[in-house]
Amino acid sequence: MASSASRHLLPLLLLLLLVVAVGGVFGGGGGGGGERTFIVRVDADAKPSAFPTHAHWYEAAVMTAAASGGGGEWREGGPLIHTYSAAFHGFSARMSPAAGSALAAAPGVAAVVPERVRHLATTRSPQFLGLLSSPPSALLADSDFGADLVIAIIDTGISPTHRSFHDRGLGPVPPKWRGVCSSGPGFPPNSCNRKLVGARFFSAGYEATSGRMNETAEVRSPLDTDGHGTHTASVAAGRYVFPASTLGYARGVAAGMAPKARLAAYKVCWVGGCFDSDILAAFDAAVADGVDVVSLSVGGVVVPYYLDAIAIGAFGATEAGIVVSASAGNGGPGGLTVTNVAPWMATVGAGSMDRAFPANVRLGNGQVLDGVSVYGGPALQSGKMYELVYAGASSGAASSAADGYSASMCLDGSLDPAAVRGKIVVCDRGVNSRAAKGDVVHRAGGVGMVLANGLFDGEGLVADCHVLPATAVGAAAGERLRKYIGSSTRQAPATGTILFEGTHLGVHPAPVVAAFSARGPNPQSPEILKPDLIAPGLNILAAWPSGVGPAGIPSDGRRTEFNILSGTSMACPHVSGLAALLKAAHPTWSPAAIKSALMTTAYIKDNSNGTMVDESTGVVADVFDFGAGHVDPMRAMDPGLVYDITPADYVNFLCNLNYTEQNIRAITRRPADCRGARRAGHAGNLNYPSLSATFVADGTRATMKTHFIRTVTNVGGRRAAYRATVRAPEGCTVTVQPRQLAFRRDGQKLSFTVRVEAAAPAKKMEPGSSQVRSGAVTWSDGRHTVNTPVVVTVQAPLQ
């Protein structure tokens, strides 16, 4: 007699046999008809006994769905792109939307998720974070510098011969490690060592959508031909390297956060982007290989968690005890731009350090405009003032084939060589890359470039390794510069030069929130404050491949062992490395406990003793900019209390988001009974290290109320009594009950309730507008300080 699962799938099998009998409609390649890649989650125990393996079952399912849905694509080697079994049970395949819809209705299929394409979102940062000291900091010493922990870098691959990845002085590869060292062009089988313990690449999803890769431009191996993956890997766990610098800037000792942690590289990003099916395959492999931390500096659009392949893969990793750290995205300074917002991931924004690379513009009228750059080639002639030209002006330097807008952006082919030769060209920021603009100016004969921010960019500046003398200036300076050029005449042209001042340390204020760092509120679940925290991500020096120029453009023939990059991509691996240190020092802590330790010990004051400011505006930043604050690894080592979360707690959270059982099963791989969860309260009652309340001011209530229930675990090592202090958001009342928590032993858990009451706005708000107020609940026993942000958002209805 057939099993229950087999009986449910017999109609699918019979339909498959019918398809084969009538002529095998998948005998040819191609497919057309709007095929796309879908990621399919299945119930692992639902495989019919008629199929010897899950892969056979999956292939049958795809063929059947394609037949009933009116089309599909038969790939060479079969219809499957990837199969998954560790972080996720299921497969990815290319098919028509109709076939995907048919497959979603098949028994045993938990979810069908359309694939999305994602994009890639040091010498000073260890010292800035307090990790470089003599003797070594307590965190480094107690964690043995992260030895025997494995950090997975899901990125563009890695440069295995770089000095940052040498294995001198390291012990044997950890016995728990089950990974492989895949080989290929530029990556021989012996590329791995006791530092780089594993390397894989995943391109099937990319090639299923984009066609076979051009192997003259890309390599089918884990080798990094972009630079991003090598850079992020060394930020997380690079060895100590001296001397290190980029074109003479930022000289010193290069080191990652966890110098003795092992690395495993999973290459998923290619010229065409980073494809969900490949990212999920990397998560699946990382879990099976035995990693301890996953670092993911990749982002994209925010969708419900059950449609988000990164959230789904990260849940499987978290359930396996793996910490997942992800970049918040580079969509700042606008609100609602944060990505990778699932609560089981650490979402990391970017801040600055106390180091700068000033390159100021001196104008002929005596003004000096502040700028930044890491240009390291031949300088402009000392004492000479060069004519300035802005190609966006009516009398500018646009070529005959380009409009003023293209020329203002210095797009390829937009500049008239006769008009810019021998001059410094002002280019507006946007559209093409910053380094590419300099290349356009250089090829047109310009001697220098000033890259000027627009209003949206504000005052946020990024130092780049330009191919010609160039600097970046903020929006206010850019406007002054354009007006200066606009007021010039042929008889009295605008002139200027660029003064490169090298590396400055001890800069104030620091840190500031980087202008590009993506901001909250959380567009998917506002009950969870995102980003979680910020870490150094502005002008970070780290390892760089020998075959890639520092400007990251094909025309750059320079070579450097280290490069300076900016982005939340650089901030994320700082937290990944610190998570490895914490896990090594506290091996019993869960991923949620580690994230809690990093969040509740974060700080919001800069080195001028003021609240951190927003780089884009210069005004005080808020919780939607920096989350819980800037990471403080030394305090995170001994947080006193942690907010722990189990996989079952996340299921309750999803229930309280009103997800269906099928939605939840798509994420968690198992059925969910939401009856108890919904009785327990609301999504904000997830035991998260922050408190976020959202109220709708509809004019019917004078006050609006909610409550949060939290449970903290004593990890301070002894008996302790904690007292709560409250800094209530403006116009709100916050009460904590009880106000004291008396722990009798290490590991004990105690709960408390926070009640928040907000007064309705005194004046009617504009439809769709919102007011944000923040405060904090702080627990202290005299030795530890445990900070929990409180944010209250009052929204006006849309109409």
Strands of 514-579 (E only): list them.
Answer: 533-536, 540-543, 562-565
* Residue 90 backbone phi and psi in degrees, to 5: 155, -150
Q: What is the DSSP letter of 4?
A: H
Give the separation between CA 526 and CA 291, rounded to whole angstroms. 31
Tokens coding 716: 């301070």
Amino acid at 629: G
First to last CA, the chain: 61
Cα–Cα–Cα angle for 455, 539, 503, rounded to 5 degrees: 110
CB 655 within 8 Å of CB 618: no
- Alpha-carbon dihedral of residues 571, 573, 574, 577, nearest 10 degrees? 170
Kindly list the strands in the beta sheet with 196-201, ordered across the sheet, starting from the edge strand earlier in the chain.
Answer: 196-201, 262-267, 150-155, 293-296, 323-327, 346-351, 533-536
CA distances from 43 to 5, 106, 203, 317, 667 (A): 10, 11, 26, 18, 12
CB 372 within 8 Å of CB 358: yes
Give the separation between CA 517 and CA 528, rounded to whole angstroms. 18
Q: Is 284 helix (H, G, I), strand (E, B) or coil?
A: helix
Query: Which residue, 119, 227, 229, is CA-closest to 551?
Result: 227
CA distances from 591 to 208, 580, 598, 732 (A): 34, 10, 11, 32
Tokens coding 353: 């350090």
CB 93 within 8 Å of CB 319: no
Cα–Cα–Cα angle for 149, 548, 286, rounded to 5 degrees: 25
Q: Which residues of 665-684 are buried (b: 16+ CB within 10 A; e: fewer)?
A: bbbbbeebebeebeeeebbb
Cis peptide before 545 (omega within 30 of 0): no
List, in order, residues 6 or more apart from 127 with CB less than 8 Å away: none
Q: Is the dihedral of CA 386, 389, 395, 398 positive or negative?
A: positive
Q: Which residues of 56-83 are buried (b: 16+ CB within 10 A; e: fewer)?
A: ebbbbbbbbbbbbbebbbbbeeebbbbb
CB 793 within 8 Å of CB 772: yes
CA 397 centroid distance within chain? 38
**661, containing H or E segment:** helix 661-668
Strand partners, 191: none
Q: Is 56 helix (H, G, I), strand (E, B) or coil?
A: helix
CB 307 within 8 Å of CB 165: no
Catalytic residues: 155, 228, 569
